[in-house]
Structure 1
Amino acid sequence: MAVDWLGFAYAVAIALGGFMGYKRKGSVMSLIAGLFFGSVYAYGAFKISIDPHDYWTSLIASGVLAVVMGMRFRKSGKLMPAGIMTGLSLLMVLRLLIF
């Protein structure tokens, strides 16, 4: 059984991003979304660790984040945090689809 360390690291990055949005801007919605998507992706990484072919939870979570953060990046044009999270989410989607 191989642990999906990359998936768990991505989940932590999502949760920390939500926390930083709350800490810097006072955005409760950012905190809620970060903790929710971080938890969902951690669960998906856990499922991948048990069965490498059970990647749908992670794929859906990273796909939704790629779309949502991509729309925010397009609207704001700011690289941090929307552009970075869009790029990371797209990389995770590609990782899950290719491997």
Structure 2
Amino acid sequence: MQKDSGPLVPLHWIGFGYAALVASGGIIGYAKAVTSGTLAGIMGMRFYHSGKFMPAGLIAGASLLMVAKLGISVLSRPHQP
């Protein structure tokens, strides 16, 4: 007579999958913040040199708003002890 070995997928594999999902979300959020800052700088320089609002000025402004939004959300987060 054999014993039941438990669930089909060991529970630690579910935990590993969850951890990978959470970590990848953090990495994507970090990359999005760096990309927004870089895009704001590049398009801001293009707008400064060309003086044309479309498309460089528009993208620079939108990117600056995104950087500000991300900065505010990081600063308003409660700190974990």
**In which range does the TM-score fall when normalised by the shorter chain?**
0.5 to 0.7
Residues of 2 paired with 1:91 and 1:82: CA distance?
Answer: 14
Q: Which of 73, 76, 86 in structure 1 is aligned with 2:47?
A: 73
Query: How many pairs were matched up?
Result: 50
Residues of 1 paired with 2:50 and 2:28: CA distance?
Answer: 35
State the 1:55 CA deviation: 2.5
Residues of 2 paired with 1:93 and 1:73: CA distance?
Answer: 18
Q: Does 1:64 align with 2:38?
A: yes
TM-score by length of 2: 0.56
The alignment's C-alpha RMSD in Å is 2.0
Q: Which runs of 5+ in 1 are unaligned?
A: 1-45
TM-score by length of 1: 0.46
Post-superposition, which runs of at least 4 consecutive aligned residues in structure 1 deviate over 6 A? Answer: none
Structure with greater Cα Rg: 2
Q: Which runs of 5+ in 2 are unaligned?
A: 1-23, 74-81
Contact 1:67 1:86 (8 Å CA) reproduced? yes
After superposition, where does 1:28-43 map in structure 2 within 5 Å?
A: none
Structure with more helix by fraction: 1
Residues of 2 paired with 1:86 and 1:54: CA distance?
Answer: 21
